[in-house]
Amino acid sequence: MVVIDTDVFLIEFAYHTDTRQAVNTQFLQQAQTADPAITVYNLMELLGQMSFNLTPAKLDNWREWLI
């Protein structure tokens, strides 16, 4: 199991021009085969930060774009 921290998801979903984007994407692709997980705290932190840039409808449907 690989537990992924919030910053990895923020780079993927919010900071598309971050200099770590390529490495981040590569890590997420590799992590898919390693039983990835996040904590409830990380999920709440991610959704809280993403709420500033998402419509209420998109935020309500987080399971469709996050999972």
Residue-wise pLDDT for 10-48, tens only, equals 999 999 999 999 999 999 999 999 999 999 999 999 999
Residue 23: per-residue pLDDT: 98
Residue 2 pairs in a beta bridge with 36
Residue 42, pLDDT score: 96
Grouping H, G, I as helix, E, B as strand and the rest as coil, residue 36 is: strand
